[in-house]
Amino acid sequence: MITDAKSIPAGTQINTDICIIGSGAAGIPLALEFENSRTRACILESGGFEDVVDYSDVYHFISRGLPVSLDSRTQGFGGTTRAWAGIWKPHDEIDFRLRPWVKYSGWSVAFQELSGYYDRAAQSVGAFPLEFFNPPLDAKTLEDSTLNTTLVRLMKPEDLDFGRKFKSRFENADNLHVYLRAVVTSFESNPGHTEVQRVRIAAPGKKEFTLTAKIFVLAAGGIENARLLLLSNLGNEHDQVGRYYMDHPKGKVGSVALNHDINIDLNQYFGAEDSAGKVFAGLRLSDRLQEQRQALNSYVQLSPVYEQEGFMGKTARKIFGLKRKMKKIELRNFMEQEPNPDSRITLGEKCDSLGCPRAVIDWQISEKDKITMKTLHEVLRDKLAGLGIGKLESPLLEKNLQDWPIKTDASHHMGTTRMGTDPRTSVVDPNCKIHSVANLYVAGSSVFPTGGYANPTATSIALALRLADHLKNRI
Ligand SMILES: Cc1cc2nc3c(=O)[nH]c(=O)nc-3n(C[C@H](O)[C@H](O)[C@H](O)COP(=O)(O)OP(=O)(O)OC[C@H]3O[C@@H](n4cnc5c(N)ncnc54)[C@H](O)[C@@H]3O)c2cc1C
């Protein structure tokens, strides 16, 4: 069932078993796990089907550190899947490990445990199982003991918007109920803040209603998950909510001036099509070198730039079956960030139209983040020169770099309610439950303790399905 909250009379109190806040990449697959079961699950979603959103200003935030794009998420049924690019990439095994050289690293869930959930996640949304991420041998031209080839895959256009793709399943399921244009403004808890009793919801026309449930799951995205906890003074006994804010700083920096007559086939690094669709190979430092150099798991893609050609040139090339002439290769960089407690979200003094303080984001890039990327460029420079491919020219190779050039956010908001076993350095436990609250869970990339370079949504959905299994045993 799908209901516009506009039709709910003010003061109504709704009751359900599981209440999920947010219908995005994490919330929709989580809710669908209960489809046609005896569990009543409901989603509260602040947006509607269309782009016009009441209370759209609740999504505005203030950047105090490096700028975070205001367009980095979307309100509406489907959440940010209405706008995302659909790049699917499970995290690497090393991302889950405790890396002694990366403070606060180490997940409470191992890659081996999550691997089955990656495959289930792929099946649930029409993406790619893990076996599709082993680069074939002929796609490892640049691989050696210092560099690893890694693949990311692009989902099909018809699978991208989860709202559109799964709408009818929600319309037809009696036990799943979606309330659109229903903005959760706070959680109400018992006096000790150990149990959520209800959520307060603002609906169009300045109406308010409430919802009670046995279990609540925050799936409102990496910024709002932290903001709603801060607004409700929940789970923050150790001042951890909102800290460790990470993204994947990205940018085109560095290019390879090519030697003439290269004998090596690099085509697999330039975006290929195989039986499963579009695939891009990139390069990261090998696990061994990361350990040796105390580096993070960052990554570059190689992007070819071709010589300009006129109509005649193009026609002649096609007739004679010649290859397009490449001018240079540009590097597209994606950085892992080390967890930094000072890179954080707090509440500001200014309020939105519902009277709730706005999020203030102080996003920071650390020295280790930068040194990792410099190391990757150095290793790549030596590799490309050694194979006679060309000369890497990059500002990161300069000794005295003044202004760090890779600082565009990738709209991947991670770490603000991180998972761990110690409440002094984390917000949720290994089951994604808020340490101090008996019935409040979190889904989405805000629970990632570290971010790797992988686009976050594959892991968010895998974790959401793992959470669903936990809740099925609990409810
Ligand atoms: C342009 C762009 C391209 C991207 N490309 C990729 C990519 O290729 N691969 C990848 O892995 N990731 C990509 N991402 C990131 C990806 O889209 C997000 O990581 C993912 O959608 C987050 O899922 P989520 O469910 O946690 O949050 P969202 O998908 O953002 O959903 C959260 C939902 O919660 C609702 N909500 C928020 N607050 C409240 C409230 N108070 N009350 C009720 N509802 C609320 C919102 O309206 C929203 O619908 C991209 C993002 C952008 C912007």
Cα of 67 from ligand 1 centre, angstroms: 18
**CA-to-CA distance for 295 and 293, rounded, in angstroms?**
5
Cα of 456 from ligand 1 centre, angstroms: 10
Query: What is the model's pLDDT at position 137?
Result: 59
Which atom of ligand 1 is closest in space to residue 446's alpha carbon? 26
Side-chain-side CA neighbours of 234 within 13 Å: the count stands at: 33
Which pair of structure tokens corresponds to residue 68?
A: 């975070």
Query: What is the model's pLDDT at position 248?
Result: 98
**CA-to-CA distance for 77 and 24, rounded, in angstroms?**
7
Which atom of ligand 1 is closest in space to residue 457's alpha carbon? 11
CATH class of 2-474: alpha beta
User: Which residue from 272, 299, 269, 302 is spatially nearest to 140, judged by alpha carbons?
Assistant: 269
Cα of 189 from ligand 1 centre, angstroms: 26
Which pair of structure tokens corresponds to residue 308?
A: 């300009």
CA distances from 312 to 306, 309, 440 (A): 16, 8, 65
Side-chain-side CA neighbours of 302 within 13 Å: the count stands at: 31
Adjacent-strand bridge partners of 274: 277
Give, using CA atoms, the residue closest to atom 50 of ligand 1.
84
User: Which residue from 344, 299, 340, 338 is spatially nearest to 455, judged by alpha carbons?
Assistant: 299
Sequential DSSP letters for 283-317: EEE-HHHHHHHT----EEEEEEEEPP--HHHHHHH
Residue 220: CB within 6 Å of ligand 1? yes
* Ligand 1 probe mutation, 75, 80, 230, most atoms within 8 A of CB: 80
**CA-to-CA distance for 124 and 142, rounded, in angstroms?**
34
Cα of 222 from ligand 1 centre, angstroms: 8
Cα of 324 from ligand 1 centre, angstroms: 38
In a 10 Å sphere around its CB, with 0-12 CB exposed, 13-18 middle and 19+ buried, how is residue 138 labelled?
Answer: exposed
User: Which residue from 25, 21, 13 is spatially nearest to 41, judged by alpha carbons?
Assistant: 21
User: Which residue from 423, 444, 420 is spatially nearest to 431, judged by alpha carbons?
Assistant: 420
**CA-to-CA distance for 54 and 180, rounded, in angstroms?**
10
Residue 444: CB within 6 Å of ligand 1? yes
User: Which residue from 109, 82, 29 is spatially nearest to 421, judged by alpha carbons?
Assistant: 109
Residue 204: CB within 6 Å of ligand 1? no
Cα of 122 from ligand 1 centre, angstroms: 17
Query: What is the model's pLDDT at position 175?
Result: 98
Residue 46: CB within 6 Å of ligand 1? yes
Residue 84: CB within 6 Å of ligand 1? yes
Which atom of ligand 1 is closest in space to residue 443's alpha carbon? 26
Which pair of structure tokens corresponds to residue 89?
A: 């990439």
Residue 181 identity: R
The answer to whether 97 and 75 are in contact (CB under 8 A) is no
Cα of 98 from ligand 1 centre, angstroms: 28
Pairing between β-strand 41-44 and β-strand 13-21 as defined by DSSP bridges: parallel
Cα of 80 from ligand 1 centre, angstroms: 3
The tens-digit pLDDT sequence of the chain (475 residues) is 999 999 999 999 999 999 999 999 999 999 999 999 999 999 999 999 976 667 778 899 999 999 999 999 999 999 999 999 999 999 999 999 999 999 999 999 999 999 999 999 999 999 999 999 987 756 678 989 999 999 999 999 999 999 999 999 999 999 999 999 999 999 999 999 999 999 999 999 999 999 999 999 999 999 999 999 999 999 999 999 999 999 999 999 999 999 977 778 888 788 888 888 899 999 999 999 999 999 999 999 999 998 888 888 888 888 888 877 888 999 999 999 999 999 999 999 999 999 999 999 999 999 999 999 999 999 999 999 999 999 999 999 998 888 999 999 999 999 999 999 999 999 999 999 999 999 999 999 999 999 999 999 999 999 999 999 999 999 9
The answer to whether 208 and 11 are in contact (CB under 8 A) is yes
In a 10 Å sphere around its CB, with 0-12 CB exposed, 13-18 middle and 19+ buried, how is residue 113 labelled?
Answer: middle
Query: What is the model's pLDDT at position 139?
Result: 66
Residue 265 identity: D
SS3 274: strand
Give, using CA atoms, the residue closest to atom 4 of ligand 1.
84
SS3 270: helix
Distance, C-alpha 111 to centroid of its chain:
17
